[in-house]
Structures are given as C-alpha cells and as structure tokens.
C-alpha cells in the first residue's frame, strides 16, 4: 500500500497561494514597464542608426552601415539590455505562475485525499 506524505495545513497552502499571486501581480506589472522600455530603446536605436547612416559620406553601402553601426553601439547596447531585462521579467512571471499552479495542484490533491479519507 502506498504511503502518503503528511498533509499541509490548508491555511498554509492558501497563504502560499496569496503570496505567489501577489508576486505574479508584481511581475506582470514589471513586464508592461520593461516591454515598454525595450520598445522605446529599440526606436531610439533605430532612429540614431538611420540618422547616422544618412550622415556618413563613405563610398559604399557596406562602409556606411559599418560606420553607422560603430557610431550607434551605445544605443544598440541599451536596446539589447532592455530586451534582456524584459525577457527576464517575463520568465519571472512564468516561474511564479508555475509555482502557483503547483501549489493549487497540491491543494486539490489534498482535498481529494481528505474527501475520500486517504492519508
């Protein structure tokens, strides 16, 4: 006969669900901010690159692109960092969502066991 682990107090499960739900709410708010910041950084980079490309008086297209790329490296770096931060915020939200789902599953399983007198 399978042995069941000790049940976790329902109050503790509910407290953990509230905690994770709060963290998920915060993470979701951060996503909107971070995604907006990434979009702004992308536009800033693209405009700076385009302006520089128009100013360069090199002979070939490849030379103009290379110069514009070097001259807008800081804007490009800010854009890529902002994208990475936005991805990290999204991953944090997914992580909290998965943890919340796991606690909900434990809670549902315990209710099932209690309802049937198991454990």
3-state SS of 54-104?
HHCCCCCHHHHHHHHHHHCHHHHHHHHHHHHHHHHHHHHHHHHHHHHHHHH
Query: How do residues 42-87 score in pLDDT, each as one tens digit?
Result: 999 999 999 999 999 988 999 999 999 999 999 999 999 999 999 9
The 3-state DSSP class for residue 9 equals coil
What are the residue boundaries of the structural domains of the chain, listed by start? 28-110
- Could you give the CA distance from residue 37 to residue 31 in angstroms, rounded to a whole number? 10
In the predicted model, what is the mean pLDDT of the chain? 91
pLDDT of residue 4: 54
The 3-state DSSP class for residue 21 equals helix
Run of H or E residues at 105: helix 73-115
User: What integer is the mean pLDDT of 3-22?
Assistant: 85
pLDDT of residue 5: 59
Q: What percent of the chain has pLDDT over 70?
A: 95
- Which residues, other chains included, contact 111 with Cβ-Cβ below 8 Å and sequence gap of 6+? none
- pLDDT-derived band of residue 10, with 50, 70 and 90 as boundaries? confident
pLDDT of residue 68: 95
pLDDT of residue 117: 78
| Cα–Cα distance list, 37 to 17, 25, 31, 43 (Å) | 30, 19, 10, 10
């Amino acid at each position: 006969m399978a042995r069941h682990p000790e049940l976790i107090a329902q109050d503790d499960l509910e407290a953990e669900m509230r905690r994770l739900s709060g963290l998920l709410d915060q993470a979701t708010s951060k996503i909107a901010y971070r995604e907006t910041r990434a979009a702004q950084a992308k536009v800033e980079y693209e405009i700076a690159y385009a302006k520089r490309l128009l100013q360069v008086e090199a002979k070939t297209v490849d030379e103009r692109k290379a110069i514009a790329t070097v001259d807008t490296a800081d804007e490009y770096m800010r854009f890529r960092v902002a994208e990475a931060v936005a991805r990290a915020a999204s991953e944090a939200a997914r992580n909290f969502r998965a943890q919340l789902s796991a606690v909900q599953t434990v809670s549902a399983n315990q209710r099932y066991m209690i309802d049937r007198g198991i454990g």
